[in-house]
Every structure is written in C-alpha cells, then in structure tokens.
Amino acid sequence: MAEISVIEHIHSMQLLWSPMATGQFTSLMHDLILSAKIISRSVTKAGLVDILGGTGDINIQGEQVQKLDDFANSVMIYRMKNCGVVCALGSEEEDELIIVDTDKPRGNYVIFFDPLDGSSNIDANVSIGTIFSIYRVDDNTELTKENILQKGTEQVAAGYFLYGPSTMMVYSTGHGVHGFTLDPSVGEFLLSHENIRIPASGKYYSANLANYAKWSEQDQKAMDSFNNGKYSLRYVGSLVADFHRTLLYGGLFSYPADSKNANGKLRLLYEANPLSFLIEQAGGLAFDGNGKRVLEIEPKEVHVRTAFLFGSKEDVEQYRKAF
Ligand code: P6P
C-alpha cells in the first residue's frame, strides 16, 4: 500500500465534501492531528515524568481529574481556539461551551471532544483515547447554545485517536471509515485501515456486568441472550478501546441506563454521537436505550448523557429482540 498520510487522505475527501473545499476543514484537521501527536507523546512517556495521578480536582462529570486529562484538555483547547476555523468548542472537561473571541480569526466549525477518554485506566497503562465530533454553522450564525448544539446526523466529521500499543487515528467525513497508524519515525499518521467495514456479526460482547442488578429487566434479558457459548466477554473500560475492537472484530457494546444513571453514563456530544457516526458509516447500528438512533437525539445540554448500544447489525438486532 502506498504510504498515504492522513492529510493527503483528507485532501482527497475534500473533493467529495463541498463545504470543506475551502481548505478550512483541512486546516482544522491539521491542528487536531498535531494536538493528538502532542498528547500521544506525553501519554507514552507518562510513567517517566510527573504526569500520572490526579490533580485533586473534580470535573463537571463528578470525576477525579487526572493530570493527563488536564494536559490533553489544555492542548486541545489551545489549538482549536487558535486554528482560525473554529468558532465554538465543547470539552468533557469544561463546564460550559467555549466561544472563540472575535478578536481572533475564526471560521464556521464547531468541535466537541473528550480530550482523554478512559482516564481511570491511565495509571495502569491501558489504552485510552481522544474522541472528536465536528459540525459546521452557517456564516453569521448567532453562537447561542441552541444554534451550536445539533443532532448527530448534522456532523460533518467524527473520529478518535487511540493511544494503545500503537497510536491510531480513525475518522469519517461521511465517505466511509478510515484508519491511520502513527509512524513515529516520520511523525505522520499513515493509512493502515482503508474503508473499515464492521462484520455483520462478531464473537465478542462488551458491557460492565457489575451493573447487571441495576439494569432494567429487558436489558438483563438482552444481555443474557449473549451468554450462550457463542460469544466471549471483553470489557476494557475505555470506550475508545472497546469501540475500536468492536469496529474491527464485530460484536456488541452496551452501556444501558441503570438505577444510578437513569439517562445512561456515556455523554452524547463527545462520545456517543461521534462513535455512532462512525459505526453507521462502517455498516453497523447505534441506538439509545429506547431503540432510537443515537444520531437523531436532539441535544439540549453540552454534557447530556445517553444509554449507548452499538455494534454489528445482527448482534444489535439480537439485543433489541428483548424489548
Ligand atoms: P464504567 C471512562 O471513564 C468512560 O467514560 C468510558 O471510556 C468507559 O466506557 C466508561 O466510562 C466506563 O464506565 O462505569 O464501566 O467504569
């Protein structure tokens, strides 16, 4: 395979997606990719420098902020505010939306991100990642919360960076899902997984079964249907890692609502929406707890949560038979 860099690939996609033909999108992606390279550099050296452990702060999610969370968030915010084409951004680590000041050049793009997903796994050297979701707003749009928060079908691009045995980038602009592996010797993400398609069914199902007693009877019945000797259970506890395995190998992931998280735990705008965009582009399905397409959910708040079920078409349909 020719060694195609992700920027070359984005240029080729640009021709298929007219609003990005301005080059604004490519510029945004260049700065996003640089952010990920910087985060990856710190993640891979975390054990050698004083960046493991917590900051002592609690974020809007009520979670302990890890030092790497803080670092990744500051890198992403700096670069997205200064890339010159983003007008607003939302981060898992920020209470409110950030509107880019008009004294800076800004364009029509809005980005939501989880700067470092899976942070409870950081100190154990388990794969973690950065998830992003990108929208456009029209020229002169008043940057109100109502105009900025759009449903997932309106995404113009989405993807993630996975900091694992290798650092990967997986993204889609609505023309298939494509994966790139960082080659540290040249400092570029090179095409390694072109046009990823999720298998129609898989042999892994993925859920935190410690929550089983808190699930609805239907979710318990649905999950029981996978405990039939045909499947193995895999659960990393880093959504990006569980997603990436499901995308490549097939199978099912479910994080249902429960008696503690009545609306689910995972966040819509920077976890469920971008990953649902990808899984549908790869031929899979993604629903909330009521069998509704995640991408059709109308977000009212930045940190709104949802139950999240995704995976291979046949496996998700098997799960939904219990409802
Ligand atoms: P639990 C990590 O904190 C995260 O947001 C996702 O990456 C992951 O899928 C989920 O939470 C794990 O949650 O309740 O199983 O620890």
Cβ of 22 less than 6 Å from ligand 1: no
The rounded distance, in Å, linking the Cα atoms of 107 and 95 is 23
pLDDT of residue 263: 95
pLDDT of residue 34: 97
Cβ of 69 less than 6 Å from ligand 1: no
DSSP designation for 264: -
Question: How many angstroms does the Cα of residue 238 sit away from the middle of ligand 1?
Answer: 6
The rounded distance, in Å, linking the Cα atoms of 205 and 18 is 38
Tell me: the pLDDT tens digits for 283-310? 999 999 999 999 999 999 999 999 999 9
Query: If you search the block for the tokens 């910087």, which residue do you land on?
Result: 38
Cβ of 209 less than 6 Å from ligand 1: no
Question: How many angstroms does the Cα of residue 239 sit away from the middle of ligand 1?
Answer: 6
The rounded distance, in Å, linking the Cα atoms of 5 and 9 is 6
Cβ of 23 less than 6 Å from ligand 1: no
Question: How many angstroms does the Cα of residue 276 sit away from the middle of ligand 1?
Answer: 16
pLDDT of residue 199: 98
Mean pLDDT for each consecutive 10-residue tract of the chain (323 residues)?
86 71 87 97 79 75 80 96 96 97 90 94 92 94 95 98 97 97 96 97 98 98 97 98 98 97 97 98 98 97 98 98 95
* Nearest ligand 1 atom, CA 114: 5
Which CA distances in Å does 107 have to 29, 79, 102, 111, 140? 13, 14, 10, 12, 10
The rounded distance, in Å, linking the Cα atoms of 189 and 182 is 4
pLDDT of residue 19: 56
Taking CA atoms only, the protein residue closest to ligand 1 atom 3 is 118
Tell me: the pLDDT tens digits for 186-242? 999 999 999 999 999 999 999 999 999 999 999 999 999 999 999 999 999 999 999
Q: Are 29 and 110 in contact (CB under 8 A)?
A: no
pTM (predicted TM-score): 0.95
- Read off φ and ψ for residue 272, nearest 5 degrees: -70, -45
